[in-house]
Chain A
Amino acid sequence: MRHWLTPRCLLIVLLLIVAPGAALTHLLITWVPGKVALARLNGAVKDHTGRLDAVCVQTRVLLEQTDQLERSRAALDDPARRAWLPQRDRDGAFDQLAEAFRAADVSLEQMTLAEPALYAAVSRRNLLACERVTIDCTGDYAALAACLDRLVQLDLPLRITRLGWNHSPPQLRLTLQIEVPFVPDDALRTALADAAKLEDKDES
């Protein structure tokens, strides 16, 4: 056996066995982790791409739904704007109503603003309040008719609940009770709902 332990034989064995082994080992410790990292990265990219596709689909659906909603909202906004005020505007409503009856031949004898009342309700959270304005004025027929026309043409959602047309010569008296609906704040909504003893119900 000792005859084989020559430098040449040892070098040959080294080259024949150890070198391919080293190359294989090097291959395993470099190529395999690289492959694993690449596979992980590919997996992550695929995952992200899939998620991105899903998000894109959802976004597209949402955009379509948003468009529909926008159209619905646009369709509803105009009637709603004419149906009620988006929020309480006590002074604004009062001023506009007073402006309608400000005429030379009309004497605005009384104009009162009562506490807000319940206008319409679906549930405790979905309700409308209203300002209740009582107007008492006198004048001739033409002036009062013109006031009524201005009242009707006001850019203010309102509802006339009572109209009194009293002719007691020599003058004509017009009595009006007007409600101006608006969306109340939370405190007023709660107070109105409690006063009306409304119950919560599912609106979906």
Chain B
Amino acid sequence: MIGPNDRETWIAFVCDTAGATLLAIRGTGPDLQAVAQHCIELDLDFLQQRGRIVGLEQFVAEHQLTGAAVRVAFAGAGCVVQKLHMPPLSPRNRNRAIRTRLSNYAAGRELAVGIRLDGPPPRGAGAQVLAAGVDCTLTRGVYRACRRAGLRVQWMTALADVFESPPASGTVVQLLLGERTTTIQLFDAGCLIGCRDVLLGRRDFVAAYQRPILTADGPVTLSPAEADALAREVGIPVGREDEVRPGLPAVQLWPMLTPVLQKLRREVEQSLTHGQLKEPLQASIRLLGLPALPGLAEYLAEDLQLPVIPLAPADAETHYLAAWCQGGRKTAPMDLRPPEEQFGDRFTRPALAAGLCALLIILGNSAVPREAGAQLSELRPLAKQLQSGVTRAQQECDQAQRTRAERVVQLHQRVQLTKALPRCVPVVELAQRVLDSVPPNVELIDLQVQAEVGRPALALRAAYQGPVAASIVAGHWACRLSESGWFSGARVTAVSGSGHETPAFMELEALLK
């Protein structure tokens, strides 16, 4: 869709350092039409100080254009458009170099620079760049004035960038006839190769019509409205010999128009001469403007011996409006807005994204530590419990070790004490054996077992009366005791008598093993 819809109005704002032309556009496609047009003077100092354009707010209020989109194009002395061949540089250095070059041609301390590349340059080769620069004072002032007037600035660019190449191939000289300035564009094979602004516009032709015209009835001076209507309807009376008005032959217009036409012709001729065209004599002339000036293209073509691209005045106006509505454009226009506005548009989305990310990070980062803190608060008592359990287990382990050591010592002592126990003699069994071993005819009188100190010993005292000599019986008894396995030795210590007639007493002693 080319153009605004029925409910919207776009404003084409052509601006130079001296004045501005406002053009309200409505409609879509072939129904595009300029609903209002207004020219205002521009006091740059006033604009800079007050941020206001005298007459703009009245124009907006009069035509109820509050909130309309404004498309601003700069032309004239405040704007410079150059076709530059740049060596292979990084984008940053290339932009710096372009800014430095443009500052030689444009006034102002600060430039708003726009760049358009003719396709991506080959690797290691330079690039053809269409660069435009405008004094930031002008762009900033216009921007602020538009916003103050309740308008919405869509883009700002150079006027030469608004109008692209005509559909015809070959070399084309395209004239954009403005109110104060005329922009001369040189296209070669559809590519803009040169551009310059001439301080000569439609208003100069209207002013020429207002000069006194010699007629048969005497000199006639046209009012500004009559002159404007004449310029709109008649334009340049090429090939006309009739009367353009009653009593006003067309031939009488030429003396007033010739100086302006010759000036424009010289400018076009100079542009062709210095435009580095391959075939300057084959260039076609095309004229666009609103309102158009009929016959101007034909005059220049005839005067310069060049072919013309014929356009009816209505077609020239339609093409003019369509160019403002970006019809058929492949690329966006160069951005000549103030750098702070460019910065704002360029970084609004990243900033919002960064802020959103930061917010999400903060929110997410606040949620995770809260959960972690809750988990930590749950874990801390467990850790303390674990620590106390470990400590208690350690204490129990130490206590168990001490107890074990004490028990080991006790057992060791007990073992040692067991080893140190005195020798235990089975005294009763021993006495029983001794009693069993008493020989016949022998009566045991006394048996003493001594197992307290030293080597356990046995003392026997017995009486005997029998046929065998007592000493022999005692000896045999000692032998039997010795052979019993309990004693290491037994001996007879005393024998009194033989025991044949009276009892004999015998005493024996035995040592236990």
A residues adjacent to B (C-beta < 8 A): 3-4, 6, 8-9, 11-16, 19-20, 22-23, 26-27, 30-31, 34, 37-38, 41, 44-45, 48, 51-52, 55, 58-59, 62, 65-66, 69, 72-73, 76, 79-80, 83, 119-122, 125-128, 145, 148-149, 151-152, 159-168, 177, 181, 203-204
Cβ-defined contact, B393 with A59, below 8 A: yes
Q: For residue B472, which residues in chain A have a CB less than 8 angstroms away from its CB? A: none
Cβ-defined contact, A62 with B404, below 8 A: yes
Q: How far is the CA of A3 from the CA of B350 in the complex (A)?
A: 21
- Given A48-B383, A62-B397, CB of A163 within 8 Å of CB of B449: yes
Chain B stretch 394-416: residues in CB contact (< 8 A) with chain A? 394, 397, 400-401, 404, 407-409, 411-416
- Can you name 17 extra interface pairs (CB under 8 A) apart from A19-B355, A76-B418, A167-B445? A3-B140, A16-B347, A23-B359, A23-B362, A26-B366, A27-B365, A38-B376, A62-B397, A62-B400, A69-B407, A120-B420, A121-B420, A122-B413, A152-B428, A162-B449, A165-B444, A203-B416
Cβ-defined contact, B369 with A164, below 8 A: no
Cβ-defined contact, A31 with B414, below 8 A: no
Interface: B417 (CB within 8 A): yes
Q: For residue A27, which residues in chain B have a CB less than 8 angstroms away from its CB? A: 361, 365
- Given A16-B350, A58-B397, CB of A51 within 8 Å of CB of B390: yes
Residues of B in contact, count (CB < 8 Å): 69
Cβ-defined contact, A16 with B354, below 8 A: yes
Q: For residue A55, which residues in chain B have a CB less than 8 angstroms away from its CB? A: 390, 393-394, 397
Interface: B262 (CB within 8 A): no
Cβ-defined contact, B355 with A80, below 8 A: no
Cβ-defined contact, A41 with B343, below 8 A: no
Interface: B496 (CB within 8 A): no
Cβ-defined contact, A160 with B372, below 8 A: no
Cβ-defined contact, B340 with A9, below 8 A: yes
Cβ-defined contact, B372 with A38, below 8 A: yes
Cβ-defined contact, A165 with B446, below 8 A: yes
Q: How far is the CA of A88 from the CA of B3 in the complex (A)?
A: 125
Q: For residue B89, which residues in chain A have a CB less than 8 angstroms away from its CB? A: none
Q: How far is the CA of A122 from the CA of B414 in the complex (A)?
A: 10
Contact of B422 among A44, A127, A159, A168 (CB under 8 A): A159
The 6 closest A-B pairs by CB, nearest first: A165-B447, A15-B351, A19-B358, A23-B358, A161-B452, A15-B355
Interface: B338 (CB within 8 A): yes
Q: For residue B401, which residues in chain A have a CB less than 8 angstroms away from its CB? A: 58, 62
Contact of A22 among B362, B369, B409 (CB under 8 A): B362
Cβ-defined contact, A122 with B416, below 8 A: yes
Q: How far is the CA of A37 from the CA of B379 in the complex (A)?
A: 11
Q: How far is the CA of A204 from the CA of B394 in the complex (A)?
A: 26
Q: How far is the CA of A161 from the CA of B431 in the complex (A)?
A: 13
Q: For residue B351, which residues in chain A have a CB less than 8 angstroms away from its CB? A: 11-16, 19
Residue in A closest to B462 when the chains form the complex, CB atoms: A167
Q: Would you give the shortest CB distance from B247 to chain A, in whole angstroms?
A: 58
Q: How far is the CA of A79 from the CA of B417 in the complex (A)?
A: 12
Cβ-defined contact, B414 with A76, below 8 A: yes
Cβ-defined contact, A80 with B418, below 8 A: yes
Interface: B427 (CB within 8 A): yes
Contact of A9 among B343, B369, B443 (CB under 8 A): B343
Q: Would you give the shortest CB distance from A65 to chain B, in whole angstroms?
A: 6
Q: How far is the CA of A162 from the CA of B447 in the complex (A)?
A: 10
Contact of A163 among B338, B387, B448 (CB under 8 A): B448
Interface: B125 (CB within 8 A): no
Q: How far is the CA of A126 from the CA of B376 in the complex (A)?
A: 57
Cβ-defined contact, B411 with A76, below 8 A: yes
- Given A159-B422, A163-B447, A166-B446, CB of A203 within 8 Å of CB of B412: yes
- Given A65-B404, A120-B422, CB of A19 within 8 Å of CB of B354: yes
Interface: B451 (CB within 8 A): yes
Q: How far is the CA of A38 from the CA of B348 in the complex (A)?
A: 39
Q: For residue A34, which residues in chain B have a CB less than 8 angstroms away from its CB? A: 368-369, 372-373, 376
Interface: B216 (CB within 8 A): no
Q: For residue B1, which residues in chain A have a CB less than 8 angstroms away from its CB? A: none
Chain B stretch 334-386: residues in CB contact (< 8 A) with chain A? 338, 340, 343-344, 347-348, 350-352, 354-355, 357-359, 361-362, 365-366, 368-369, 372-373, 376, 379-380, 383, 386
Cβ-defined contact, B452 with A177, below 8 A: yes
Residue in B closest to A128 when the chains form the complex, CB atoms: B417
Cβ-defined contact, A164 with B447, below 8 A: yes
Interface: B424 (CB within 8 A): yes
Cβ-defined contact, A160 with B447, below 8 A: no
Q: How far is the CA of A11 from the CA of B366 in the complex (A)?
A: 24
Q: How far is the CA of A101 from the CA of B373 in the complex (A)?
A: 84
Cβ-defined contact, A69 with B347, below 8 A: no
- Given A38-B376, A55-B394, A167-B445, CB of A159 within 8 Å of CB of B424: yes
Interface: B421 (CB within 8 A): yes
Q: For residue A13, which residues in chain B have a CB less than 8 angstroms away from its CB? A: 351
Q: For residue A65, which residues in chain B have a CB less than 8 angstroms away from its CB? A: 404
Interface: B66 (CB within 8 A): no
Q: Would you give the shortest CB distance from B152 to chain A, in whole angstroms?
A: 14
Q: For residue B365, which residues in chain A have a CB less than 8 angstroms away from its CB? A: 23, 26-27, 30-31
- Given A62-B400, A165-B447, CB of A203 within 8 Å of CB of B394: no
Cβ-defined contact, A26 with B361, below 8 A: yes
Q: Would you give the shortest CB distance from A167 to chain B, in whole angstroms?
A: 5
Could you list 5 examples of A-B contacts with CB < 8 Å?
A3-B338, A19-B357, A19-B359, A31-B365, A148-B431
Cβ-defined contact, B413 with A203, below 8 A: yes
